[in-house]
Structure 1
């Protein structure tokens, strides 16, 4: 997205041309292009008049669109437009349309197409348009001669305040987000969330949406649909992070508003929130020392998990935020809590749940120290999950540890895992040929030629990729 007036304080000519191309309606875009051409040709009065024409056409088109989309309040407006249009250029038709146009800005505010500030700015365009097309409004026989920067400013305001925004009301965007989050077919697609519920939404509505997402993600409040509060909060956390990528300070402020209510929640909810938001800086900016002490106590694994008891998923997610530097700084004892976990819990539960480059040293160590065929296979599956983070050097170290540890090398799943690792490291390209070839050579030196544990499937895959002859 190009910068907006709020971001730059001014809009350059290149930005203005870009905005003209982003007008949501093709028909209104033609009118905006007319205004742009008038400005470039030096026809300043014509530019201001054409800008106001684009504004009126845009508001009418949006209100009709809302009526067609099922907004009952907009239906009466659409009927008024249809009645005026049916009379054509007759005197009654012109008067009816003039009456409609005189209240367009008020209708735009009512239907949340613009806010009170936008109303004030668009009224200035209307007033200057009247001066441009009705020169008799000025006394002393002076002709109104607007300056070029006035026309450019009016066009920039019209574009950024109204013309580039789709016809979506504030309440409708909020309800749309709620329906999207509650959808059984929910897919956490960040660009879609940003484009639909943030990028082309007005500032006031943006803040409402961000506050709503923060409230659900932090507090697990009651949901409007069938999802549990915790599952709904997990999905809202995805949306909240998508919004943070656009406006981090707004999200930070929204999360901070929930601090006192979060402090009084039960431990189970606080632990889930930690796992959900703990790897984001906007969460930790609201955590003081007392709350940090509380959260660290909730991560006391030895006292939380009895011997032989399954490791709780929420506790695993909370401990997994150790991957975040913000979390490690916010909870100084977090790394020690993680290190105190038994090897199998640390690897097969915590790290497996949240693969991250931070865990690569632990994964390499796990491959090297695996003490049984079962743990060797777990180490191999964990390496697959971390394949997107591997460099050539780390891959070489992992394969060397694998080759020298008989519990990894001879585990029954490992030949298949080796082929999958080759597939999952495609991002390394040709450079992965050498470490895989050296691994295969080392394995074959230790195992009998043609034996299953000499990895014939990997050899065939390397030949197929052209890494071996």
Structure 2
């Protein structure tokens, strides 16, 4: 995957906070600080997952998302020096939401293992820090963007009500057809996997048939 592909995926990062954090990942990667890039990338993933859960609460008043965040907060209150909750939050998200699937989870687990290798010296190796090569870090960045960061932060099976509500709120701003088209493509359609895009079109066709 070349730089332009990474930049293309990077443009689809939804949250401005995540985009800002991800810039640090790319800066460290570009100067060859691969160990730092991996450690930072994992931190960005965890922050983005938390933002997505809060987004689900704000958008859908999602009880599962609220329960996950409360559970993680309770874990942090019990032991604020432990980072075990970071993987736990991904496990909870996999079990109780549709934000990631099993393949995404395995990719993120591998990233976490690489993060630990980069952050902690290994006694058996003479207290040497592991240093990943450029190809490994580039693959981790690509997989992370595809698995989480560039995905839409909403449930695709609820996308039609989301789009309609969004358009209702922006109707005074989006007054030209081309503006609406570009807005929908940038915010929703370009971020959807093909199977969900087809599902969306089928749902829209059913709505149109009922109206007609």
Q: Give the TM-score of the pair, scaled to structure 1.
A: 0.38
- In structure 1, the residue matched to 2:93 is 108
Alignment length (residue pairs): 201
Whether the 8 Å contact between 1:49 and 1:133 is mirrored in structure 2 is yes
Alignment partner for residue 73 of structure 1, among 41, 52, 64?
A: 64
Change (3 A) 1:113 1:203: farther
Distance 1:114 1:204 in 2: 15
Q: Following TM superposition, by how much is the alpha carbon of 1:78 offset from its aligned partner in structure 2, in angstroms? A: 2.7
**Is the Cα contact below 8 Å between 1:64 and 1:77 reproduced in 2?**
no
Instruction: Say whether the 8 Å CA contact 1:84–1:94 is kept in structure 2.
Output: no
Quote the Cα distance in structure 2 between the aligned partners of 1:92 and 1:176.
38
Matching residue of 1:327: none
Tell me which residue corresponds to 1:153.
139
How do residues 275-354 of structure 1 correspond to structure 2 at under 5 angstroms? none
Tell me how far 1:58 sits from its aligned partner.
Answer: 0.5
Distance 1:216 1:76 in 2: 34
Shift in Å, 1:17: 3.8
Give, in angstroms, the shift of residue 125 of structure 1: 1.2
> What is the aligned partner in structure 1 of residue 52 from structure 2?
62
- Give SS of 1:144's match: coil
In the alignment, what sits opposite 2:37? Answer: 47
Kindly indicate whether the alpha-carbon contact (under 8 Å) linking 1:67 and 1:78 is maintained by their aligned counterparts in 2.
Answer: no
Are 2:159 and 1:173 aligned?
yes
Deviation (angstroms), 1:82: 4.3
Offset at 1:200?
2.0
Partners in 2 of 1:30 and 1:209 — Cα distance? 31
Q: Write out the 4+ residue segments of structure 1 that deviate beyond 6 Å after TM superposition.
A: 178-181
Segments of structure 1 that go 5 or more residues without pairing to the other structure are 1-9, 221-228, 232-469
Change (3 A) 1:192 1:161: same
Paired residue secondary structure (2:104)? helix
Q: Map 1:161-310 onto structure 2 (within 5 A).
A: 161-177=147-163, 189-216=180-207, 220=209, 229-231=210-212
Query: What is the alpha-carbon distance in structure 2 between the residues aligned to residue 179 and residue 99 of structure 1?
Result: 38
Does structure 1 conserve the Cα–Cα contact (< 8 Å) formed by 2:68 and 2:89?
A: no
Q: Residues 83 and 135 (structure 1 numbering): CA distance in 2 closer, same or farther, change over 3 Å?
A: same
RCO greater where, 1 or 2, for CA within 8 Å and sep 6 or more? 2
Question: 2:62 & 2:54 partners in 1: Cα distance?
Answer: 9
Distance in 2, matches of 1:18 and 1:199, equals 11
* Contact 2:68 2:93 survives alignment (8 Å): no
- In structure 2, stretches of 5+ residues that fail to align are none
**Aligned-residue offset at 1:39:** 0.8
What is the alpha-carbon root mean square deviation over aligned residues?
3.1
Q: Secondary structure at the match of 1:93?
A: coil
Residue 123 (structure 1) aligned with residue 114 (structure 2): no
Deviations 1:287-338 (A, max 9, x none): xxxxxxxxxxxxxxxxxxxxxxxxxxxxxxxxxxxxxxxxxxxxxxxxxxxx
- The structure having more radius of gyration, on CA atoms, is 1
Deviations 1:407-432 (CA, angstroms, capped at 9, x unpaired): xxxxxxxxxxxxxxxxxxxxxxxxxx
Task: Look up the match of 1:226.
Answer: none
Residues of 2 paired with 1:148 and 1:169: CA distance?
Answer: 34
Question: In 1, distance between residues paired with 2:7 and 2:187?
Answer: 23
| Partner SS state of residue 80, structure 2 | helix
Q: Distance in 2 between matches of 1:29 and 1:179?
A: 25
Deviation per CA, 1:357-409, whole angstroms, max 9, x where unpaired? Answer: xxxxxxxxxxxxxxxxxxxxxxxxxxxxxxxxxxxxxxxxxxxxxxxxxxxxx
CA distance in 2, matches of 1:28, 1:180: 22
Post-superposition offset of 1:140: 4.9
TM-score (norm. length: structure 2): 0.77
